[in-house]
């Protein structure tokens, strides 16, 4: 990810689009440049803008789908070999495969009395193959439990088609931690 405005930009919207900024080298800004062989990079930039738009839309669909528990929407933007590496960063908290991930996340959120996930901002790499997302998640396992808000940085990898292929979760440790049963291994072992 780059802070260079010509390569990527960020928004604070959950539907963030992080397409490369248009400049004089892009055909949209300078239509004659597409015909100029010296500006071949401008054609790549246009293709990159389309890839960035697809990746940004898919990332927004993912976060919104998890928040609203729309598992069909989530499934539609995940690669079949999707991998989720949880905040414990071990094999017990790693989920491999789109179907296993959907079972895991739907079971965890389904057990919550309250669950809310908000994408705060997303940064997309210039090639639209990597993203960094900041999110907050509030959980309340039971009606008598105090809500717990957690702050995450999520490193994401995307396929050339813009599907999410990897989610690696990093978090700021709150005063209280989530219940110990929220691991891939424990959740998927349930009947």
Q: What's the pLDDT score for residue 188? A: 81
Q: What's the pLDDT score for residue 135? A: 96
Q: What's the pLDDT score for residue 191? A: 77
Cα–Cα dist 154/171, whole Å: 8
Grade residue 3 by pLDDT with cuts at 50, 70 and 90.
very low
Highest mean pLDDT among 64-68, 174-178, 180-184: 64-68
Grade residue 45 by pLDDT with cuts at 50, 70 and 90.
low
3-state secondary structure of 61: helix
Task: Considering only residues 113 and 190, tell me which one the structure prediction assigns the higher pLDDT.
Answer: 113
Is it the case that residue 25 has pLDDT exceeding 50?
no
Is it the case that residue 36 has pLDDT exceeding 50?
no
CA 116 to chain centre: 15
Cα–Cα dist 66/61, whole Å: 8
Q: What's the pLDDT score for residue 123? A: 95
**Domain CATH for 123:** 3.10.450.50
What does the pLDDT average to over 165-182?
80
Read off the tokens for 113.
């009395």
DSSP states along 126-178: TTSSEEEEEEEEEEESSTTSPPEEEEEEEEEEE-TTS-EEEEEEEEE--SS--
Q: What's the pLDDT score for residue 89? A: 77
Is it the case that residue 44 has pLDDT exceeding 70?
no
Total domains in the chain come to 1
**Domain limits for position 47:** 10-188
Phi, psi (deg, nearest 5) at residue 20: -55, 140
Q: Is residue 4 part of a domain?
A: no
The kind and range of the H/E element at 56 are: helix 40-68
Q: Is residue 1 part of a domain?
A: no
CA 112 to chain centre: 22
């Amino acid at each position: 990810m780059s802070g260079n405005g010509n390569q990527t930009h960020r928004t604070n919207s959950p539907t963030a689009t992080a397409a490369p900024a248009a400049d004089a080298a892009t055909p949209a800004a300078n239509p004659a440049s597409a015909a100029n062989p010296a500006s071949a990079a401008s054609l790549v930039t246009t293709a990159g803008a389309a890839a960035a738009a697809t990746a940004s839309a898919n990332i927004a669909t993912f976060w919104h789908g998890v928040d609203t528990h729309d598992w069909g929407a989530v499934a539609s933007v995940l690669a079949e070999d999707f991998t989720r590496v949880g905040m414990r960063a071990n094999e017990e908290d790693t989920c491999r495969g789109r179907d296993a991930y959907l079972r895991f996340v739907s079971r965890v959120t389904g057990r919550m009395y309250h669950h809310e996930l908000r994408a705060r901002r997303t940064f997309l790499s210039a090639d639209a193959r990597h993203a960094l997302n900041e999110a907050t998640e509030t959980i309340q396992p039971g009606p008598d439990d105090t809500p717990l808000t957690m702050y995450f940085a999520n490193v994401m990898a995307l396929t050339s088609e813009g599907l999410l292929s990897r989610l690696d979760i990093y978090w700021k440790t709150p005063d209280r931690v989530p219940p110990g049963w929220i691991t891939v291994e424990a959740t998927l072992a349930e009947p």
